[in-house]
């Protein structure tokens, strides 16, 4: 006879009030603390940095500038999930080391993507938050491995995932004992082609209604267009997002990945000033 070992709460088909991610199970908002930076509290936390780590100069110049403007977490991919195998795949381990170095120099905690269970140990050595990207939201072995860690996980919504599938992916992580999960809306595939993705901002109030986990928004991958990032970032804060993750590059025209959607250092600084006003209007803050 085939036996199945289920963790509690018992497995149900679909998301339900009994799920660990559900607000019905835990009414208190989950606060994810990353080296003193609290995600899910009154502050709207800004994550910023390049799409990919390219060099020490690129990462340092970008990091110190976004920090001065108000970013609290540095982003940067070392292992990049690229649509084409012929495009820049990231610096790999060298990229992780640069993240560690620049994190130490600036004091900014770092988030970086892990794409494979075999990378989890190495990436955990350098990352303060491990990112599971859109393409891997359905990678159940990776979700389970992330659940065994005692480090925060930034889980991005699959580009074709429903809210229910997204929450059940998060459930895989909580179910293994790791409750430090941050959800990220990053745009979904629709019939629309004028933007890279359709940023589903209705996901923000819906996720916050259904779950106690913090919710952040990625307006960079959500639109794919630099000029549109500020409008959608402001809209995300107005919709109740607990944070934003924004691609910023010190020389976007030379970026090896996603330059067309990356803000310049100047544009990022201007945007944070506007975001502070929006945050205040919805009783939040950006320090």
Binding stretches for Mn ion (CB under 5 A): 51, 258
Sign of CA dihedral 129, 133, 139, 140: positive
Q: What is the CA radius of gyration of the chain?
A: 18
In this structure, what DSSP letter does residue 179 have? -
Contacting ligand PEP (CB under 6 A), which of 54, 113, 185, 200?
113
The number of angstroms, rounded, from the C-alpha of 119 to the middle of its chain's C-alpha atoms is: 18
Calculate the alpha carbon distances from 74 to 41, 108, 248, 287 in Å: 19, 6, 10, 16
Considering only the stretches 31-39, 130-138, 188-196, 268-276, report the one whose residues sit in contact with ligand PEP under the rule CB under 6 A: 130-138
Greatest distance between any 2 Cα atoms in the chain: 64
Contacting ligand PEP (CB under 6 A), which of 186, 208, 226, 234?
186
Using CB under 6 A as the binding rule, whether residue 95 contacts ligand PEP is answered as no
Q: How far is the CB of 186 from ligand PEP (least distance, A)?
A: 4
Q: How far is the CB of 208 from ligand PEP (least distance, A)?
A: 19
Contact 49, 62 (CB under 8 A): yes
Of 167 and 265, the one with the shorter C-beta distance to Mn ion is 265
From residue 221 to residue 240, what is the string marking binding to ligand PEP with x (rule CB under 6 A)?
x-------------------
Using CB under 6 A as the binding rule, whether residue 212 contacts ligand PEP is answered as no
Q: How far is the CB of 180 from Mn ion (least distance, A)?
A: 23
Sequential DSSP letters for 16-82: -TTSTTBTTT--SPP-EEETTEEESSSB-EEEEE-SB---HHHHHHHHHHHHHHT--EEE-BSS---
Give the closest residue to 217 by CA, choosing from 191, 193, 196, 238.
238
Considering only the stretches 5-13, 131-139, 227-235, 276-284, report the one whose residues sit in contact with ligand PEP under the rule CB under 6 A: 131-139
Considering only the stretches 93-101, 129-137, 170-178, 206-214, report the one whose residues sit in contact with ligand PEP under the rule CB under 6 A: 129-137
Residue 113, binding choice from Mn ion, ligand PEP, none, Cβ under 5 to 8 Å by partner class: ligand PEP
Of 65 and 136, the one with the shorter C-beta distance to ligand PEP is 136
Contacting ligand PEP (CB under 6 A), which of 62, 134, 178, 262?
134
Between CA 58 and CA 49 the distance in angstroms is 10
Calculate the alpha carbon distances from 201 to 138, 177, 207, 241 in Å: 21, 29, 10, 9
Contacting ligand PEP (CB under 6 A), which of 49, 109, 133, 252?
133
Between CA 126 and CA 53 the distance in angstroms is 13
Residues that bind ligand PEP (CB under 6 A): 51, 77, 81, 113, 133-135, 156, 186, 218, 221
């Amino acid at each position: 006879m085939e036996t199945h070992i289920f963790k509690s709460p018992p497995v149900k088909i679909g998301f339900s009030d009994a799920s660990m991610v559900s607000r019905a199970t835990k009414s208190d908002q989950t606060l994810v603390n990353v080296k003193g930076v609290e995600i899910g509290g009154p502050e709207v936390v800004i994550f910023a940095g390049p799409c990919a780590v390219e060099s020490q100069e690129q990462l340092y110049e970008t990091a110190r500038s976004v920090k001065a403007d108000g970013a609290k977490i540095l982003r940067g991919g070392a292992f990049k999930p690229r649509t084409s195998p012929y495009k820049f795949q990231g610096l790999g381990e060298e990229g992780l080391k640069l993240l560690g170095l620049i994190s130490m120099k600036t004091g900014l905690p770092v988030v970086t993507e892990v794409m494979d269970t075999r990378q989890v140990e190495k990436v955990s050595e350098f990352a303060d938050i491990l990112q599971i990207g859109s393409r891997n939201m359905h990678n159940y072995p990776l979700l389970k491995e992330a659940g065994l860690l005692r480090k925060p996980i930034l889980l991005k919504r699959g580009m074709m995932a429903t809210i229910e599938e997204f929450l059940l992916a998060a459930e895989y992580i909580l179910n293994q004992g790791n409750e430090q999960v941050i959800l990220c809306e990053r745009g979904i595939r629709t019939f629309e082609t004028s933007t890279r993705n359709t940023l589903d901002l209705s996901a923000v109030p819906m996720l916050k209604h259904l779950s106690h986990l913090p919710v952040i928004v990625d307006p960079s991958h959500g639109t794919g267009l630099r000029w549109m990032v500020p409008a959608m970032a402001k809209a995300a804060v107005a919709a109740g997002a607990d944070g934003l993750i924004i691609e910023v590059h010190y020389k976007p025209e030379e970026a090896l990945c996603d330059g067309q959607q990356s803000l310049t250092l100047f544009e990022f600084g201007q945007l944070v000033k506007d975001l502070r006003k929006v945050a205040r209007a919805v009783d939040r803050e950006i320090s």
